[in-house]
Amino acid sequence: MDITRRRQGRWLGGVCAGLASRFGLSVGAVRLGMVLVALAAGPPVVVGYLAAWAFLPIQDGTGVPAGGPDGSRGRPGGSAADAMAGAAVVVGAVLLLAEVSSWLPRSVLLPALLACGGAAVVWGGRSGDRAGPAAGGRMRPLRVALGVSLVLVGGVAMLAAVSDVRTIGRSAAGAAVVVAGVALMLGPGLARLARNLGDERRQRILSEERADVAAHLHDGVLQTLALIQKRAADDKEVRSLARRQERELRDWLYGRRQAAEPDGVAGLLRRELADVEDRYGVRIDAVLVGDAPLDDAARAVVAAGREAARNAATHAGVDTIDVYLEVEPERVSLFVRDRGAGFDPAAVPADRRGLADSVLGRVRRAGGHAEVHSTPGEGTEIELSVPRARAGTGERGQEKMARGQEKMDSGREQQ
């Protein structure tokens, strides 16, 4: 395990706390040791502490190193204030030390502190909080500029304290001229290079997308259109082809491409209904609200719903069937409705067991509730519902995920 700083129970940067927890020592002991060593050895320890503050990643009490997958580092802004408070304490302590002992001449100490402060400002953005590009992004250039100038001023002043000012001034000016010259020469070229790279990347993404669209339109839509023209005489076939293509295109456009394996009630139902549409040349307007993991009861309801839709497609004499699925916390309900011929449920001969067995019986055997409402001439509605198993927390989490997924999709099938 790497050494990290601690947000929890820290005084300054959390360096002592981090060391303590890394080596299994008491925080108090580490702090006392740190202070004693600082008093004895002086600046190197202080600089070392600041460097540790700047470079060591911070770790929250949760044990997740900050900047981890979730990228959250606690309150944004809060740690900037913390850092400033800490820096103030450190500066105060060092000044006090300089006052009571004499291990550092004032003329060197102040510039050194200035430089350290500058470094802290620059690195603070890195080590304190990465509040995200939105928050930190605007302030960052300012922060860097401020920090860099502090470091420069501090460094120059420190050097000036130990050598001749004019020499430094002259060499600094020379260095600045060289740097400016290099920047002038290379700057525009570098900027153009960066821009070109960006443009090229955009172009590539764009052309890849275009190729993807073209491939899809060609493989799917154009071929279906060709088929439709060939089979123009066959009404039912044409409708079914068009509907199937529409479904595919919608799935593709609205990002429901992962239809390979339906992992919930809604996915399975959608696939079953698509199959009924293709086989019987009807249009099924499905409105799906919510989703749940598949269990036996849910499977039974979907299978019964499929049968009900098939019945409507074959007997009702309609083009369109309405299906409504709603997953609630305590039950799954499914309604299959047509505005077709209808029938008198009481008058169904006893040997016509299709509806009773494969639709109603199926759901009732699964512990659910099934009803038929039908009026001759007005249509039929089959109402199915099963209670949902009281799942443990694990499954509930899964369901929540499935639900979030489904929310994106629900109702899209209907058109």
Partner 1 sequence: MKRVFVVDDHALVRAGVRSELADVPGAGGDTPRIEVVGEAVDVDSAVAAIPAAAPDVVLLDVHLPGGGGVEVIRRVLARHPSTLFLALSVSDAPEDVIAVIRAGARGYLTKSVSGPELAEAIERVAAGDAVFSPRLAGFVLDAFAGSVPVPADPELDQLTNREREVLRLIARGYAYKEVARQLSLSVKTVETHVSSVLRKLQLSSRHELTRWATERRIV
Tell me the site size for partner 1, rule CB under 8 A. 26
User: Is there binding between residue 343 and partner 1 (CB under 8 A)?
Assistant: no
Q: What is the 3-state secondary structure (H, E, C) of the chain?
A: CCCCEECCCCCCCCHHHHHHHHHCCCHHHHHHHHHHHHHHHCHHHHHHHHHHHHHCCEECCCCCECCCCCCCCCCCCHHHHHHHHHHHHHHHHHHHHHHHCCCCCHHHHHHHHHHHHHHHHHHHHHHCCCCCHHHHHHHHHHHHHHHHHHHHHHHHHHHHHHCCHHHHHHHHHHHHHHHHHHHHHHHHHHHHHHHHHHHHHHHHHHHHHHHHHHHHHHHHHHHHHHHHHHCCCCHHHHHHHHHHHHHHHHHHHCCCCCCCCCCEHHHHHHHHHHHHHHHHCCEEEEEEECCCECCHHHHHHHHHHHHHHHHHHHHHCCCEEEEEEEECCCEEEEEEEECCCCCCHHHCCCCCCHHHHHHHHHHHHCCCEEEEEEECCCEEEEEEEEECCCCCHHHHHHHHHHHHHHHHHCCCCCC
Full strand arrangement of the beta sheet holding 331-338: 283-289, 320-327, 331-338, 379-387, 369-375
**Stretch of residues binding partner 1 (CB under 8 A), selected from 9-17, 69-77, 213-221, 283-291:** 283-291
The distance from CA 67 to its chain's CA centroid, rounded to whole angstroms, is 15
- 283 counts as binding partner 1 under rule CB under 8 A: yes
Q: In this structure, what token pair is assigned to residue 383?
A: 């109402």
Say whether residue 245 binds partner 1 (CB under 8 A): no
Among residues 126 and 271, whose Cβ is nearest to partner 1? 271
CA 213 from chain centre, in angstroms, equals 26
Q: For partner 1, give the closer residue by CB, 15 or 268.
A: 268
For 353, left (φ over 0), alpha (ψ -120 to 50), or beta? Answer: alpha
Q: How far is the CB of 97 from partner 1 (least distance, A)?
A: 52
Contacting partner 1 (CB under 8 A), which of 150, 324, 340, 385? 324
388 binds partner 1 per the rule CB under 8 A:
no
CB of 305 to partner 1, least distance (A): 13
Q: How far is the CB of 56 from partner 1 (least distance, A)?
A: 35
Of 140, 250, 315, 369, the one binding partner 1 by CB under 8 A: 250
Using CB under 8 A, which of the segments 17-25, 85-93, 149-157, 404-412 binds partner 1? Answer: 404-412
Q: Which is nearer to partner 1, 143 or 315 (CB)?
A: 315
CB of 373 to partner 1, least distance (A): 10
Q: Is 328 in the site for partner 1 (CB under 8 A)?
A: yes
Of the candidate spans 58-66, 89-97, 208-216, 402-410, the one that interacts with partner 1 by CB under 8 A turns out to be 402-410
CB of 54 to partner 1, least distance (A): 36
Of 39-47, 90-98, 216-224, 282-290, the segment contacting partner 1 by CB under 8 A is 282-290
Candidate residues 335, 362, 384, 386; the one interacting with partner 1 per rule CB under 8 A: 335
> Which of 71, 187, 198, 404 forms a contact with partner 1 (CB under 8 A)?
404
Should residue 272 be labelled a site residue for partner 1 when binding is judged by CB under 8 A?
no
- Binding segment toward partner 1, per CB under 8 A, in 77-85, 176-184, 217-225, 280-288: 280-288
Closest approach of Cβ 75 to partner 1, in Å? 21
Asked whether the beta carbons of 400 and 381 are under 8 A apart, the reply is no
How many whole angstroms separate alpha carbon 46 and alpha carbon 59?
22
Q: Does 399 bind partner 1 (CB under 8 A)?
A: no
Residue 254 lies near partner 1 (rule: CB under 8 A): yes
Q: Does 337 bind partner 1 (CB under 8 A)?
A: yes
Q: CB of residue 292 vs partner 1: minimum separation in angstroms?
A: 12
**Does residue 410 interact with partner 1 by CB under 8 A?**
yes
* Ramachandran angles phi, psi of 327, nearest 5°: -100, 115
Query: What is the footprint of partner 1 within residues 284-323 (CB under 8 A)?
Result: 285, 287-290, 322
- Which residue, 172 or 414, has its beta carbon nearer to partner 1? 414
Specify the residue, 31 or 250, whose C-beta has the smaller distance to partner 1: 250
Return residues touching partner 1 (CB under 8 A). 250, 253-254, 283, 285, 287-290, 322, 324, 326, 328-329, 335, 337, 381, 404, 407-408, 410-415
